[in-house]
Each structure stands twice: as structure tokens, then as C-alpha cells.
Structure 1
Amino acid sequence: MNNKIFSSISALSLLLSSAAIAGNTVTVSGSTSVTGLMEVLAETYQLQQNDYIEVQGTGSGAGIRAAKEGTSMIGMSSRPVATDELGKDVQQFVMALDGIAVAVNNQNPIKNLSIEQVKAIYTGDINNWSQVGGDDQAIVAVTREVGSGTRGAFEDIMGLTRKINDITVTAISARAQVQSGNGSIKTLVANNSAAIGFISLGSVDESLAALQIEGVDATKANIQTGDYGIARPFVLMAANSPEPEAQQFIDYIMSSEGQQVIADHGYIEVK
């Protein structure tokens, strides 16, 4: 009997100590462009304390709703967020800046396009690479899904919207292929010599080529000087009085250590 009591006490003690070690869970969801960077920040943060950071890439629109409705402690958006999208009980702040790279297959001879040429490609007015000095090959324009923060920022910056009955709608051609994340666009462009897509600058790697826009390279330095104009903020949203564990993670992101992690991974720190 005593052995059973001792075993029960030991099991309970182990359970309680494990719960203490595990700490709290901080839920983060939203923009797929921010997700990769947030996962890195979460990993470095978790090395220092016991809280667990749960990150989900659900899209900017979903991240805004999650922050507003309280279904996530922290929401992520890769486009500016209007005050009326959140309500009075939610705060927002910029954690980093990111460029949007216009990328093509490594085999594509085109190295530079003007803003007007990129815009015409996405409206469908330019539909063959020969029209911009490339090979005689039909262009495969690739875009993000409606509601994507990357797409929203790209449309705003490039003037790819139009008015119908006083309602702002996309001007991107219905013939453009739609992909649901940076990774999907990278894969498609990397494997299709005729493709062009737009992705987070921090996601660019050797599998595809970022074009110059108006003769300016898509680099961190050129975004900081304003010479490369296709850039957008990475926005975080949380309750005005978040849970302590969420506030501690936010404080880490905005600290000099967190901002250095952001800079080390190709994004632009804000502090």
C-alpha cells in the first residue's frame, strides 16, 4: 500500500515539475512571409527560457482577424494594417521591414525591368518575354492568393488595383497562376524558365534570380536608402494588455538581440 502511495506521489511530482519546465505557450499566427522569420526568433527565444512559441502561417488577413478576435496572442501581417481592421483593444507595431523581390528563373536572360513593365506583365498587357527584350516565350505570371499581405502590398506599390463601382479590386490578370505562399512561388519559378513571381526579399536564394527594378538591385541597403521602392512593413498585433508571456516575447523581438536576429536573416531592423 505504501509503495502505491509513494508511486502516486512521485508520478504527481514528476507531472507538476514537467509542467513547470514546459512553461506557457504563446500563440502566433498570420502572414506566411513573416512566419519563417518568426520561427527563427521563436527558436532563439526558446533557448533562453521555458515558454513555447507556437507559430502558424495562415496569411495576413487571418492574422489580423486572430489578433482582433483573440484566437492568437500575436497576429502577423506583411502589409500595413488600417486601424479600423483591428478595433480599439488591439495594438500594432512594426517589427521589421522587408523588400518584395520580383524574381525569375535562373535561365531567364532578363536582369532588369521597369515598374511599368512589371505592372503590364501582371495586367496581361505584356505576355511574351520578347516584348521586354527576352526570348520568344509566353510569360507565366505567378501571384499570391487574394488576402495575402505580400499581394496586397505589391498591388498597392505597383498600382495594380482599379475601381469598379467605387470598389477597389485587383488589376492582376485572371490568367496569372495563384500560389499560396513564398515557398510555392519559389518552387514554381525555379522550375519554369518562363515564370515570374514576387516574393519576400528575405526568401530569395540561389534557386531563382531577383530582378533589378528601374536599374536598382533588390538589396537591404537600397531599401534603407529608399532607392528600391518595393518594400513593406512586417507588422505584429496584440491586445493592448497581452498575457505576460506574450509581452515578454514581443519585448525580445524588439530588443537589440531580437533585432540583430532579424538583420542576420536578411531583413531590415527597425531599432
Structure 2
Amino acid sequence: MSKSGGEIAVKIVLCVLLSGVILFLGLFAGLIVSFSGGALFYAPLVLVAAAVLVVFLAFFMFLPERHRRKLFISLLSIVVLGGLTTAVYELREAYHNRIPVVSDQEVNMEPYRPFADTGKLAVLPEPSKLTITKDLPRLDGATALYPLYAAFAQAVYPRQDYDLYESEVMVNTTPVAYKNLIEGRADLIFAAAPSEGQKAAARKQGKELKFTPIGREAFVFFVNASNPVTGLTTEQIRGIYSGELTRWSDFGGNDARIRAFQRPEDSGSQTMLERVMDGRELAKPPEENVASGMGGIISRTADYRNYKNALGYSFLFYATEMVKNGNIRLLDIDGVKPERATIANGEYPFAAEFYAVTAGSDNPNVEKLIEWIRSPQGQYLVEQTGYTPLAP
């Protein structure tokens, strides 16, 4: 082999080895970035940077020296372009993150715990006519109803520490609460009517769900406070969420596409939306991409983010008392405002009962507690919390 041929062979071997090291380090760094939450942007950026370095190395080793200046200029241009791309991404993320969110995860539930002495819970003006000191029914339920059943527990249960997620008074959200009830980890839950999936899960476990109405609440829709639209009809809501109506200008608003958010499947508010749709198929909702533990991407339904073109929904008490986001405005539905008076008299079209739900618990105090909740004292707490009692 000639001297020049030997040099080329050495360069090839060296290039292959160095390229392998660069690609390995790039892959390793990409995985680390993915685990750190950067799977959407920074992990691909790291892999592209590794590939660029490999290409640069190959050209550097095999191009004549007179072309290396141009090679370095090209590399510098790519670095500058990557920096600008990163800056644009970070600015976009900063804008996105400063927009207020309405989410089950954003409310701090600690102040609502029984006996937390924060003044957040409604209290009776006289001693409770029911006191339970042993065999405490294990309670769970919807986030929006926790302030209510925590007030029940504070009136009836002994004073002690009740952990939010592992105690006799838990708040694990509607989907988990139904799961806990069906699987025997809760005796009584407080929630809206179940989804078809939750009913099927109960049947599969041989459990019969029993629903006892304990109050009424409005299912509300809301927009950014700057949106000129003040109300929609039931049919317009169905048209928007089926994907048939797509622009706010159709309702006297700005010429912007409607960003109609939805909640995760089996949540209480999503089940209520399905009831509002009355059999019409829901359009695909906005999604957010979340890095999984293995560096992959999971698409999930995005929480309501208060863009100027957004449309979201929740329950009245949660939206107005727990979240208290002054940047959203509740919409009239069919010309009726969502408020206690219109819930009580049946004028508001999306008012519905919420329930104490059981699935055959053998706890002897469950029925006593439900009976007390429906008594004047329990209904007083329903009203004082901010919900509408069964009988005004």
C-alpha cells in the first residue's frame, strides 16, 4: 500500500471511530435531555448537532486545507442558526407559559382539608346532629366537590389529620374516585354522574352504583375576558365541539379560530360535555405533548389555557370560587346566566345534580352520613359552600 493510501485508510478508521463516539455521546445526551423534559425540542436539537459534527469531521479530515476556512464559516453559520432557533423556541415557551391556565392541578387543596382552620370550609351554626367517632366512611371525590365533603367531615368526623390522598377524606379527582369506589378503597364518593366507561368498570367488578342526589350545580362555559362574545346557544356549543363551527366571527366575535379545549376522558366535566352533546361526536381537542419517563412523547388533552380565542368549561363553583381567574368570563347559555337563582329554578339549561355515590359498602355509617347530608344541616353546608341545595 502506498503512503498516501495508508494515510487515507488511517483517516477513514479515525473518522469512523470519532464519529461513533460523537453519535454515542449525542444519543446519550439526547436521552438525558428527554428525561429532563426536553424531548420535544432539545433532544432532537442535540441529535442534529451530533450529526452536524460528524459531517463536519468528515469534511475536515478529507477536504484540502484551502477549503477549511469555508468549512469553519459554514459550521459557524449553523451554530448561529441553532442559537436563533433556540431563542425563538424559548420566547414562544415564555409567552405560552405566562398565559393563565384553568386546571384541576393548579388549585392548592391543602387549605380545604378538614380542621385545617383556614376559614375555607363552611361551618354549621350549631353542633352537628350526627357524630361519627369510629368506622369512619372513607370519602373521595371530584376536586370541585372537595370543599363540600371536607365540610361534611369537619362537622361529623373527629378532629385529626386527614391526608389529601391517603385518609378517610381524600381528593383524588373524579376518575380515580370512581376507581377507588369500584375497587373498594372508598366507601362513598362525591361526584357528577359517571361516564359510560366508569359504568362498564363497575359492571365488570360486579358492583352496582347507587346515586343519591345531594345538591345541584351549573356546568359553565367560559372565554377570555377580552372576547366580545357574551353568550352561546346549546346548538352553537354542540356545533363548536363537533367541529362544525370553527370561528368566533360566526357569533359576533373576532375573526379568529376557536380553540375549544376539552378535559381528560372520564373526568366529571368531560362526562357532562358528552351529555350536552346529546350523541354528537366530539372533535379532536387541543393536545399538549408531555415527555414520558422513557424519553418518548405522550399526547394528552391540554388543560384550558386562556388564549384570546380559547373556549373552556368547568363547574360554576370551581371556576368562580376555587380558581378565581379574573381573566375569564362565563358565557350565558340560551340567554340565561349561570347563577344560583337560575340553577334553582331550572332556567339554566346545563344545571345538573351531583351525587353521593356508593357501591355496596358494608360500613354501617355510610347510609347515616348520606341521610344527614340530605337533612337541613347537610343542605345548609351545601348552600354555604357555594352550591345549590336540593330544596332552597
TM, length-normalised to structure 2: 0.52
Q: 1:12 matched to which residue of 2? A: none
Shift of 1:43: 3.5
Query: What's the secondary structure of 1:97's corresponding residue?
Result: strand
Q: 2:390 matched to which residue of 1? A: 270
Q: 2:242 matched to which residue of 1? A: 123
Matched, 1:154 2:273: yes
Q: CA RMSD in A?
A: 3.0
Query: What's the secondary structure of 1:56's corresponding residue?
Result: coil
| 1:190-240 deviation per Cα after TM superposition (whole angstroms, max 9, x unaligned) | xx2221111101123252211001111111211222211102221112355
Question: What is the one-letter code of the residue matched to 2:337?
Answer: D
Q: Choose from 347, 357, 360 the match for 1:227.
A: 347
Shift of 1:124: 1.8
**Structure 1 residues 27 and 101: alpha-carbon distance in aligned structure 2, compared to 1, 3 A threshold:** same
Matched, 1:139 2:253: no
Matched, 1:66 2:189: no
Q: 1:209 matched to which residue of 2? A: 329
Q: Choose from 67, 84, 92 the match for 2:211.
A: 92
Q: 1:18 matched to which residue of 2? A: none
Distance 1:230 1:220 in 2: 12
Runs of at least 5 residues in structure 1 that lack an aligned partner in the other structure: 1-21, 163-170
Matches within 5 A, 1:186-265: 188-189=305-306, 192-205=307-320, 207=326, 208-240=328-360, 242-265=362-385
Structure 1 or 2: more strand by fraction: 1
Question: What is the one-letter code of the residue matched to 1:228?
Answer: Y
**Structure 1 residues 145 and 239: alpha-carbon distance in aligned structure 2, compared to 1, 3 A threshold:** closer
Q: 1:40 matched to which residue of 2? A: 151
Distance 2:151 2:301 in 1: 21
Q: Which has the higher contact order (CA 8 A, sep 6+)?
A: 1
Confirm or deny: 8 A CA contact 1:27 1:54 kept in the other structure.
Answer: yes
Confirm or deny: 8 A CA contact 1:33 1:78 kept in the other structure.
Answer: no
Distance 2:259 2:150 in 1: 31
Question: What is the one-letter code of the residue matched to 2:144?
Answer: S
Sequence identity, in percent?
25
Question: What is the one-letter code of the residue matched to 2:140?
Answer: S
Shift of 1:39: 2.8
Query: What's the secondary structure of 1:223's corresponding residue?
Result: helix
Distance 1:117 1:89 in 2: 36
Confirm or deny: 8 A CA contact 1:25 1:54 kept in the other structure.
Answer: no
| 1:118-173 deviation per Cα after TM superposition (whole angstroms, max 9, x unaligned) | 111111222221121101222111111111222112221332x34xxxxxxxx221
Structure whose CA Rg is larger: 2
Q: When the two structures are aligned, how many residues end up with a matched partner?
A: 232
Distance 1:238 1:110 in 2: 41
Distance 1:124 1:264 in 2: 39
Distance 1:102 1:202 in 2: 12
Moved more, 63-72 or 87-96: 87-96
Shift of 1:74: 0.9
Confirm or deny: 8 A CA contact 1:24 1:50 kept in the other structure.
Answer: no
Distance 2:390 2:362 in 1: 22
**Structure 1 residues 50 and 26: alpha-carbon distance in aligned structure 2, compared to 1, 3 A threshold:** farther
TM, length-normalised to structure 1: 0.73
Distance 1:249 1:50 in 2: 17
Runs of 4+ in structure 1 over 6 Å off: 81-84, 178-181
Shift of 1:115: 1.1
Confirm or deny: 8 A CA contact 1:34 1:234 kept in the other structure.
Answer: no
Shift of 1:264: 1.7
Structure 1 or 2: more helix by fraction: 2
